Amino acid sequence: MASLDFRDFYIKYNGHPKFRTSRIIEDDLISVMIQKYELLLFTNKGELMAQPEFGCNLEELLFQTKVSSEYVEDTINSQIAQFIPEMVGMNYRLRVEFVRDNQSYQEAMVIYFTIADYEVFARVGERFDSSF
């Protein structure tokens, strides 16, 4: 069986909590999977050329009526199964909550994700925000 290459371009941006200026290639398996996971979350279907089913459409789901946190979790898990196969079978935790800001009358979706002691927090609402 051929070994898999888990290297990827380093895509963290200036302002990301884990950004390092001298990095070009990411070769840590967990970090590569987290990069792929963040890309899934922050991409809407149809935005990635030649991959029309790639993406979670989280902003669209946020503003749907009667969408449960379990439905959003299932959506994210199915995207992980399809586009991050190296993560399937690994022990990761995913939890989605909807929160309401009574001051601004806005609702947000908060996504908690943990894998191998890395915690990723994403908030979908006015704008995407993520840190790990």
In order along its 132 residues, the chain shows pLDDT tens digits of 345 556 565 555 566 656 566 665 556 677 778 888 888 998 999 998 999 999 999 888 888 777 899 999 999 999 999 998 888 888 899 999 988 877 777 788 899 999 888 888 888 875 444 444
| Domain 8-131 belongs in CATH node 3.40.50 | no
DSSP-assigned letter for residue 48: S
pLDDT at 13: 55
Structure tokens at 11: 């895509």
Distance of CA 9 to the CA centre of its chain: 17
What is the rounded distance in angstroms from the CA atom of residue 132 to the CA atom of residue 127? 17
Where along the chain do its domains lie? 8-131
Helices 69-83 and 29-41, packing angle to 10 deg: 130
pTM reported for the whole predicted model: 0.74
Find the DSSP H helices in 10-68: 29-41, 58-62
